[in-house]
Structure 1
Amino acid sequence: MYTQEQIDKINLSLKTPEDALRWAYDTFGDKIAKASSFGPEDSVVTDMIIKVNPKARFFTLDTGRLNQETYDVMDAISKKYKINFEVMFPDTTQVEQMVRTKGINLFYDSVDNRKLCCEIRKVRPLNKILSTLDAWVTGLRKDQNENRSKAAMVEIDKLHGGIVKINPIIDWSWDQVLSYIKEKNLPYNKLLDQGYPSIGCEPCTRAIKPGEDLRAGRWWWESDTHKECGLHMDHKT
């Protein structure tokens, strides 16, 4: 367990995403894993991780409502880097009960319903795997939304028992992400070409319109600009 003072010192010593990843894998060994939802940022961070630690662990949350394009890029990344993704599924009984009582598209009916669906399909499976880890790696960036603007490269994850959370490209811009993918010729989610800069479950994600925020396509029927599914800490609190 790290104190905030220790984390602050670590952040001051890290200058690049690669610095953060080398520190993370030297420190946590096989008790750290990369979470992937197969958005563009995940393609970038995965490529960086493999160069630092070819045997690194990766996991993903299969909610049962993902786009085919997401499965396609998962397969492509798995083959390119020889990664065996640890796929976490929601509890079948919980999903069945939720659908029977709330309906298959419950998330459109209310914010509470949407959060319940995220809780069962995403948050609980994430909590299950994070409870076995000392640290995890994400593809978060500050300019994704206001909530993430205060995030740091290395953080104490208070949502998950105080484990360490590493956000190696937290200070990167959207253009840097796209440039890296193009320069390295990385596999990426083809939904990006259809106007999806942020990719989640199929019924809860749409392409964005010109001038819209990069995450405007997530839960677009809700008005709150700080929308999250519960996987990441609200940095406003």
Structure 2
Amino acid sequence: MLRETTLEGVIDKELVAIERIKQYEPEEGYYVAFSGGKDSIVVYDLVKRAGVKHDVHFNATTVDPPEVVKFIKTYYPEVDWIRPKKSMFQIIVKHMMLPTGNMRFCCHELKEIGGKGRTVVLGVRREESMRRRNRLVYDESKRQKGKMFLNPIVDWSEDEVWEYIHKYNLPYPCLYDEGYKRVGCIMCPLQNIKGRERDKERYPKYYNAYLLAIKRMLKKEKKLVNRLKMVIRQKK
């Protein structure tokens, strides 16, 4: 519950989150990272309720679910779209591998490219994964010096996120009502096998584009191997 009674008194998590946002407000304003997912919907609403200076951005990945793309364009037309220099399929060929749960170069090149030198507001929550269990409310990026992260709902549960959305009647992507727990990239490696199979059936054009990228990747790998063999022969 967003409002809890403890030995120390009543804790209102909404007010706590808003105070966190006010506390760390930078002079130039916040860079709000918006994905169209439930957590970012809540965070963006809290930022607006806090009355702080901000600008909001969506990092398009080229493999975003069409339903999410339509949702953002319909309900959040003010969001600034940041489009990548290369598509997901191009960076697969570039790295000569598919993204994995531990090797998510796609996130680094497609989703985490904005907010340099800014304080970025995220919808990250500790409950989401072991990797995020130790996330702080306010912390500096380990990849970009001077880039700060504010996670105002880091200690919220999924139920509390939905409680907030329903309380304020906030719109959200239809995929959640169809059983999706997350609405990130199509075929994201953080999904389980069932989730990826569901994406394969729902988005066949994207699935086929992944297959084509794999073929191009293997073709590039073969060329490199042949080139290497030629160099070795020349040295003998």
Gaps of 5+ in 1: 1-14, 210-215, 221-237
Greater C-alpha radius of gyration: 2
Which residue is equivalent to 1:122? 111
Pairwise CA distance, 1:77: 3.3
Q: Deviations over 1:107-162 (max 9, x none)?
A: 3xx63996344443334xx2xx222x331100011100011111111112222214
Which residue is equivalent to 1:223? none
Give matches, 1:25-44, under 5 Å: 25=25, 28-44=26-42
Q: Structure 2 counterpart of 1:111, which letter? A: T
Contact 2:123 2:154 in 1 (8 A): yes
Q: Structure 1 counterpart of 2:157, which letter? A: S
Contact 1:204 1:219 in 2 (8 A): no
Name which structure has the greater RCO, CA cutoff 8 Å, separation 6+. 1
Tell me the matched-pair count: 184
CA, structure 1 residues 142+111, in 2 after alignment: closer, same or farther (shift >3 Å)?
closer
Residue identity over aligned pairs, in percent, reads 24
- Provide the C-alpha distance between the structure 2 equivalents of 1:113 and 1:173, rounded to a whole number of angstroms: 24
- Provide the C-alpha distance between the structure 1 equivalents of 2:110 and 2:197, rounded to a whole number of angstroms: 15
Which residue is equivalent to 1:146? 130
- Provide the C-alpha distance between the structure 2 equivalents of 1:59 and 1:101, rounded to a whole number of angstroms: 26
- Provide the C-alpha distance between the structure 1 equivalents of 2:119 and 2:94, rounded to a whole number of angstroms: 36
Pairwise CA distance, 1:204: 2.0
Q: Which of 136, 149, 155 matches 1:165? A: 149
Indicate the RMSD between aligned Cα atoms, in angstroms.
Answer: 3.3
- Provide the C-alpha distance between the structure 2 equivalents of 1:156 and 1:179, rounded to a whole number of angstroms: 30
Whether 2:179 is the aligned partner of 1:185: answer no
Whether 2:88 is the aligned partner of 1:90: answer no
Which residue is equivalent to 2:119? 135
CA, structure 1 residues 159+87, in 2 after alignment: closer, same or farther (shift >3 Å)?
same
- Provide the C-alpha distance between the structure 2 equivalents of 1:151 and 1:206, rounded to a whole number of angstroms: 18
SS of residue matched to 2:62: coil
Query: Could you tell me the TM-score, scaled by structure 1's length?
Result: 0.65
CA, structure 1 residues 101+35, in 2 after alignment: closer, same or farther (shift >3 Å)?
closer
Give matches, 1:1-237, under 5 Å: 16-25=16-25, 28-53=26-51, 56-79=54-77, 84-92=78-86, 97-98=90-91, 107=98, 111=100, 115-123=104-112, 126=113, 129-131=114-116, 133-204=117-188, 217=195
- Provide the C-alpha distance between the structure 2 equivalents of 1:158 and 1:186, rounded to a whole number of angstroms: 33
Q: Structure 2 counterpart of 1:72, which letter? A: K
Query: Could you tell me the TM-score, scaled by structure 2's length?
Result: 0.66
CA, structure 1 residues 217+168, in 2 after alignment: closer, same or farther (shift >3 Å)?
farther
- Provide the C-alpha distance between the structure 2 equivalents of 1:150 and 1:69, rounded to a whole number of angstroms: 32
CA, structure 1 residues 168+119, in 2 after alignment: closer, same or farther (shift >3 Å)?
closer
Gaps of 5+ in 2: 1-14, 199-236
CA, structure 1 residues 219+121, in 2 after alignment: closer, same or farther (shift >3 Å)?
farther
Pairwise CA distance, 1:74: 1.1
Runs of 4+ in 1 over 6 A off after TM superposition: 205-209
